[in-house]
Structure 1
Amino acid sequence: MRGKTHPGDPAVGEGTWRSHTGTGVDIGLSGLIKWIRYPVVNSETAGLDVVTSVADQFDGAFAYQLLQDCLVLLDSLLSSQDIETLWLAGTFREFDLERLGVDGRVWLRRIADICTDRIRCDYPSFIPAVAMPVVDEAVKAAVAAEVRSVGPALEQATAHHAYSPLDGVVPALQRAVDVDPDLGFRLLLRVLKGYFVPISQARYERYLAFGDELGLGADVVDDREFNIPSDLVD
């Protein structure tokens, strides 16, 4: 979890503000991934228009967390391919960076620039900077273990999907969790929902507990898109 200040605080200029609370929805990169799927966006220009609209949500609060999610990944060792894989998995390839010929890191930088412009509408002196996660190692280990545990089902659902196949999702998620367990967890949830991967009630309850540990609201974890068969035990 990151430290947070009110957006009016000068520390915002150092990129330290972040909050999941008070909105009832995910307002980070994983939230953008959900928004950009409906309706399907078929061009980079249209995608950037969605980003601009989303960054303005909640009086611009969305722009802060979305910016920080992007900066954390851009500042990490994740490759462009990792970033593209996470994006494609979350969007179910419905906004296909590969097809559009858009590099993953370039795409995150464009999102970050839009968020910075939105924040400067209210705070002209804002200077974006990475707010490094304050990582709880126990939580990181728990989220990483969850990715490994659900990995076989996730690999089957993504790599072998009939019309939206995608390789390398589990390793990319593992690397994201290692960088920022909060963001990695939210991306895991988005991929599971996007590919409608079946999970058990017990796993679902663990996700709610992880969300509580990470400071996510219950509505961020469960937006009624999980696939939870009543007879599944995993």
Structure 2
Amino acid sequence: MAQPHRNLGVDIGLSGLIKWIRYPAVDSETAGLDVVRSVADRYDGAFAHQLLRDCLVLLDSPLSSRDIEILWLAGTFREFDLERLGIDGRVWLRRIADVCTDRIRSDDPSFAPAASPAADDKAKEAVAAEVGLVGPALEEATARHAYSPLDGVVPALLRAVDVDPDLAFRLLLRALKGHFVPIGEARYERYLALGDELGLGEDVVDDGDFNVWPDLVD
């Protein structure tokens, strides 16, 4: 049932929300939830389905609240700073999930979230490999950032891969884009190919925010 809601011509689910909650910066939980409601309502409510799925996958996983906070902060570049606002990562995802459930049930009162199918090992291996390859550059960009340092991004992403490689891949891309990490054309082409294997549209993988260097060999 959720598959049609993956083809919206834009980034989807939690990674899509992370992209949109950055512009402009959001400085309170109330304002953040207003953005969540607006995003969940996009495409006549279709966006809410994948966003809810992503939240439930993480909430049902062994990832800690800190892991979730790191993944969020890496993508939002602290424009919506859970740490500063004192919002627990799992609590925040639950509030997003509640907004999405309410939006979906406004159209379908009988809606009941279904468990997501388990990902195959091939997808996990492919995404984990890409995280590992770009890991040093991403850690450099995040942990050593001049005014927004963030430790543990790569380990959190690798733990997310074990939970859901599709979501982990989208969160990896959002972190790379948010920190403007340079990538070469070969890596860019691999990302497009991997996105296709995961059933993601090209608009999800490349939404115009990549920092591609034609002469970078990676």
What is the TM-score normalised by the length of structure 1?
0.91
| 1:91 aligned residue (52, 57, 76) | 76
Distance 2:36 2:174 in 1: 17
Q: Which amino acid aligns with 2:211?
A: N
Question: Which stretches in structure 1 are left out of the alignment for 5+ residues?
Answer: 6-16
Aligned-pair RMSD on alpha carbons?
A: 1.0
Question: Which stretches in structure 2 are left out of the alignment for 5+ residues?
Answer: none
- 2:158 aligned residue: 174
- 1:72 aligned residue: 57
- 2:208 aligned residue: 224
Displacement of 1:20: 5.3
Partner SS, residue 232 of structure 1: coil
Distance 1:135 1:226 in 2: 26
| 2:145 aligned residue (161, 168, 172) | 161
- 2:101 aligned residue: 116
Matches within 5 A, 1:23-102: 23-102=8-87
CA 1:141–1:35: 2 relative to 1, 3 Å? same
Size of the aligned set, in residue pairs, is 218
Distance 1:208 1:30 in 2: 16
Distance 2:181 2:44 in 1: 34
2:168 is the alignment partner of 1:184: yes
Partner SS, residue 102 of structure 1: coil
Distance 1:143 1:19 in 2: 23
Distance 2:158 2:8 in 1: 28
- 1:141 aligned residue: 125
What is the TM-score normalised by the length of structure 2?
0.97
CA 1:119–1:20: 2 relative to 1, 3 Å? closer
The ranges of structure 1 where at least 4 consecutive aligned residues each deviate by more than 6 angstroms after the TM superposition are none
- Post-superposition Cα deviations, 1:145-182, rounded to whole Å, max 9, x if no partner, equal 11011100000000000011100000000011110000
Displacement of 1:201: 0.5
Identity score, percent? 79
- Post-superposition Cα deviations, 1:19-75, rounded to whole Å, max 9, x if no partner, equal 454311122000000010011111100000000000000111111110000000000
Distance 1:22 1:155 in 2: 31
Q: Which amino acid aligns with 1:134?
A: A
